[in-house]
Chains A and B, each alone.
Chain A
């Protein structure tokens, strides 16, 4: 039997990246991801690999861009306010088609917000961080074991498609400790044929995102869009639990999915047939799977640590085939399983026959009544 060890998410992600052959790490201290930087500060020099604590997140992502341009396997991590600064570099990396894995251990916002866990950067992560027409694959683990699994996958996607990839976690994922079987996957070294190595015996190479002629930039954008369609076709990931007989499905990712799973068990004990649909890739979003599922359901309940962000993608995906309810907490607050069970009870009251007790989600589209329920 494999020995199980206690690790927190930040350390597990760092160690998974090291095992995957990460050549360089660049970061800047910010709570709640500082343990990841500290782990790398110790481990990378031990292994003769690159570690730099940068002057800012702008500096860190730019260092990562330079290292990635030489074909190195690069990891960068930060938390919400730092990701805003890294948005500049992410746009350049996407435009220059450079592989990179960026970990975002989300905290509450807007502004300086808090250092408590949050999922309020779903829009930022999935709709593009910086300027320009681009997409970045986003992988959202909901356990430390899954984070260990997804980090090498993130590097594989980054290198296969020459794109930055984001691993989206939150403060709980980053700082909570869980027992894990430390199966860290290794990847073969990469030596891409586009990398900057010095123009010895070959014509010079240029890593660039600037295309001043409109025709050239449009052609470049067409290529990028074709790549994004290929990623949508091949890299959409999700997990389903208890959906076979479910009348109501919870849609949740990351930490929210952990709460949802507990709520699902309690709801089932109370006689409610509830399942869980858990997006693992937030972009590409598993829209088709959700669209196919929707007609079988009485309602969908989206649970997030936000005021309602992924719920927009869920509504776009199901296109009215099922009513979509939302329950969320913000600012670093985490929904309790009982709150979610209460929201599920409402979900079972949607579209009741006339005369039966019913709930109209239009009266509470953001689930804030649920969120505040019992506290007023």
Chain B
């Protein structure tokens, strides 16, 4: 700090505490207020930027609200038919061994119509980093039940709440995939608060490093909010995410078979989400 004479005024040097990652487009997103996709997009942009992967990434967008990820992430993108993102990514991976391949799917996409594709891409140990945003409903089509919907949760297709006898049980995709030896890394993050967002970023970074090291398939599930689909305010949806969703889908590392791939410490949080 420089010494001052005369009246004291605030002279703190400007310090950059928040800026848009280069891989994030300047447009504001179409996502509803309180939706978690914007936070996850930002984390993806930060991690890829920090690892210098933007110029070699080919990303695959699933079907659902986040199909428009390609409008916000400045990356080469391929659309996949509903559920098929891991197969599309497999095709890309097999002919572009030098590319960094990323999929971005929601829970309707991955956990229902796309179960065969995700299971077999994982079983083959494809060198793909899969991002799985789980908000427990089909958001784009109006908040119907997804395989991940919690028991008792009301949706537009379970108006009385999800009942196990009628609708089956919530599907823990990440735990199921973690059983497969082709899966090098599986973790579940959350967008519930800044601390959880920081951890989620570390999981994403590790899941990218796993691919770079050629260790196998990596998946990061992110439990997220859908206030409109849940019939809640954004504030209520954060509470529900913390109190109800995280109980069924607890955040943390689910499996890590990469003893040789160290998790780089996440850089000091540059974000101000929260």
Interface residues of A (CB under 8 A from B): 23-24, 26, 50, 52, 54-56, 58-60, 62-70, 72, 74, 88-89, 92, 96, 196-201, 203-210
Contact = CB atoms under 8 A, between A and B. Distances in A.
A53 B54 CA distance: 30
Given A56-B116, A198-B55, A206 B94 contact: no
B95 interface: yes
14 contacts: A24-B95, A58-B81, A62-B84, A63-B87, A63-B88, A66-B60, A70-B95, A196-B76, A198-B56, A199-B74, A204-B75, A206-B77, A207-B79, A210-B67
B116 A198 contact: no
A236 B56 CA distance: 40
B81 A206 contact: no
Nearest to B116: A55
A66 B117 contact: no
Contact of B78 (A50, A59, A196): A196
Given A199-B74, A210-B67, A66 B54 contact: no
Interface in B50-69: 54-58, 60, 67
Contacts of A69: 58, 78, 88, 91-92
A47 B100 CA distance: 23
Given A63-B88, A68-B91, 11 more contacts: A24-B94, A62-B84, A63-B91, A66-B87, A69-B88, A69-B92, A70-B58, A198-B56, A199-B74, A204-B75, A204-B77
Nearest to B80: A62
A62 B95 contact: no
A204 B76 contact: yes
A347 B151 CA distance: 69
Nearest to B99: A198
Given A199-B55, A201-B55, A210-B79, A55 B117 contact: yes
* B: contact size bracket: 20 to 34
Nearest to A95: B79
B55 A196 contact: no
Contact of A92 (B70, B77, B81, B117): B81
**Chain A at the B interface: mostly helix, strand, loop or mixed?**
mixed
A56 B87 CA distance: 10
B78 A207 contact: yes
Identify the 3 closest CB pairs spanning chains A and B, nearest first.
Answer: A66-B91, A200-B55, A63-B91
A208 B70 contact: yes
Given A66-B88, A198-B58, A200-B56, A88 B81 contact: yes
A65 B75 contact: no
Contacts of B76: 196-199, 204-206
Nearest to A64: B91
Given A58-B117, A62-B87, A196 B77 contact: yes
A127 to B, nearest CB: 20
Contacts of B89: 66
B92 A70 contact: yes
Interface centre among A50, A60, A62, A88 (most CB of B within 10 A): A62
A190 to B, nearest CB: 12
B139 to A, nearest CB: 15
Given A63-B87, A204-B77, A196 B116 contact: no
Interface in B80-114: 80-81, 84, 87-96, 99-100
B120 interface: yes
Nearest to A50: B94
B95 A67 contact: yes
B226 to A, nearest CB: 20
Nearest to B57: A198
Interface in B110-166: 116-117, 119-120, 124
A239 to B, nearest CB: 35
B49 to A, nearest CB: 13
Nearest to A49: B95
A196 B88 CA distance: 12
A70 B70 CA distance: 16
B221 to A, nearest CB: 21
Contacts of A198: 55-58, 76, 99-100
Interface in B18-55: 54-55
A200 B55 CA distance: 4
A65 B80 contact: yes
Contacts of B67: 210
A26 B91 contact: yes
Nearest to B58: A196
A63 B94 contact: yes
A59 to B, nearest CB: 4
Contact of A67 (B75, B81, B94, B100): B94
A203 to B, nearest CB: 8
